[in-house]
Structures are given as C-alpha cells and as structure tokens.
Amino acid sequence: GAPLLEEPKVKALAEKYTVSPNVILTSYHILSGRIVVARSSNKDRVKDFINLAELTKEEIEELDQIGIENPQRFINEDWGIGLGFEHWKTTPSWEEKK
C-alpha cells in the first residue's frame, strides 16, 4: 500500500536496474546519506534489503523532485511532525481519517 512504489519514475528505474521499486527507494535514501530502517513481514522483501541499485546523481535528483513537487508523508504515525523538515507536508492523522 505504499504509494511511492507506484510512482512512474520509481517504476521506470526499477525496470532499468532490474530490481523492485523497494530497492530503488531504499537505494535512493542510502545513496542520499540517510539511514534506512526497513521493515517487512514478507521474506522476499526482506531478502531485497541487501540489494542496492547504483543510481546516478541525476536519478537521485529526479527522485528528490517527487518530494519537492508534492511533499507529503505516507504513514499514519505522527512521528516527525513539527521537526521542521523543509518539504514535509503533514497528512491528517489516522483518527481524523475514520
């Protein structure tokens, strides 16, 4: 249910590198200098955690634009709200969505 897995640019890069969209997103964050704490109950996705796509600087910049052009969080938890991330638009909390 992660919307970024359906992002056309992410899917195109996954096809180019012959990996899953999860690998593209994990690679993007790691190559951008961020720590990734991946979690899944799906053993095939867990096996993907060791893969890394060698994204180019230009591809990383293109992926950056996804969040700059349409900044939003795709989780229901309130963690991180108010921390001052420049391009982080909050979404209604889980309770507000009911």
Q: What does residue 30 show for φ and ψ, rounded to 5 degrees? A: -65, -45
Look at residue 44 in the predicted model and tell me its pLDDT: 80
For tokens 């964050």, the residue is 29
Question: Mind listing the pLDDT tens digit for each residue in 26-79?
Answer: 999 999 999 888 877 888 878 877 889 999 999 999 999 988 888 776 655 555
Instruction: Examine the pLDDT at 87 and tell me if it is beyond 80.
Output: no
Cα of first residue to Cα of last residue in the chain, in angstroms, is 18
Question: Mind listing the pLDDT tens digit for each residue in 1-26?
Answer: 578 889 999 999 999 999 999 899 99
Can you say how many angstroms the Cα of residue 9 is from the centroid of all Cα atoms in its chain?
A: 12
Between 7 and 97, residue with greater pLDDT = 7
Collapsing DSSP states into helix, strand and coil, what is residue 60? helix
Q: Is 23 exposed, middle or buried (0-12, 13-18, 19+ CB in 10 A)?
A: buried
Can you say how many angstroms the Cα of residue 46 is from the centroid of all Cα atoms in its chain?
A: 16
Q: Categorize the per-residue pLDDT at 98 as very low, low, confident or very high, splitting at 50, 70 and 90.
A: very low
Q: What value does the CA radius of gyration of the chain take, rounded to a whole number of Å?
A: 14
Between 95 and 77, residue with greater pLDDT = 77
b/e for 24-63, b at 16 or more Cβ within 10 A?
Answer: bbbbbeebeeeeeeeeeeeeeeeebeeeebebeeebeeeb
